[in-house]
């Protein structure tokens, strides 16, 4: 556990740190910090860098409740810090490839048609 030098001037903050190393895997840490703590101090306190050492080497993409945030952001009680992974596939390319595999008849708006109905209905 890292030592944090913050003057304790109020109630402690209960912070949640969430990271998904791979699809369908989520790791979560609960951290209690003194008021005035920053996002960087919460990451150091939760011990994520000991478990996932590769996060130290690359610049992190971070957010609080889905909003991108810098490491110097002061935290509030019940904040949820999220560490984002890089996308492996561009969503537009994935959709285009999926459509090409499925074909026009089995995808999209007209995927299910009634028997005997006109084309497009």
Q: Model confidence over 66-78: pLDDT tens digits?
A: 999 999 999 999 9
For residues 73-103, one letter each, b for 16 or more C-beta atoms within 10 angstroms of the residue's C-beta and e for the rest, the string is bebeeebebbbeeeeeeeeeeeeeeeeeeee
Rounded CA-CA distance 108/99 in Å is 8
pLDDT of residue 2: 47
Q: Which residues pair with residue 18 across a beta bridge?
A: 28, 82
CA-based nearest residue to 30, from 85, 77, 86: 77
Residue 22 — very low, low, confident or very high, per pLDDT cuts 50/70/90?
Answer: confident
Contact 11/76 with Cβ under 8 angstroms?
no
Residue 9 — very low, low, confident or very high, per pLDDT cuts 50/70/90?
Answer: low
Query: How confident is the model over 24-60, as pLDDT tens digits?
Result: 899 999 999 999 999 999 999 998 999 888 888 888 8
Torsion angle of C-alpha atoms 34, 35, 40, 42, degrees rounded to 10: 50
Cα separations in angstroms, 29 against 18, 38, 112? 7, 16, 44
């Amino acid at each position: 556990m890292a030592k944090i030098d913050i003057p304790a001037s109020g109630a402690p903050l209960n912070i949640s740190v969430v990271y998904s190393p791979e699809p369908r895997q989520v790791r979560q840490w609960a951290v209690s910090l003194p008021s005035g703590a920053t996002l960087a101090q919460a990451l150091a306190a939760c011990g994520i860098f000991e478990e996932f050492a590769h996060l130290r080497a690359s610049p992190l993409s971070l957010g609080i409740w889905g909003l991108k945030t810098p490491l110097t952001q002061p935290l509030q009680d019940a904040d949820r810090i999220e560490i984002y992974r890089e996308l492996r596939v561009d969503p537009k390319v994935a959709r285009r490839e999926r459509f090409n595999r499925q074909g026009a008849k089995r995808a999209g708006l007209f995927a299910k048609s009634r028997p005997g109905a006109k084309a497009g209905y």
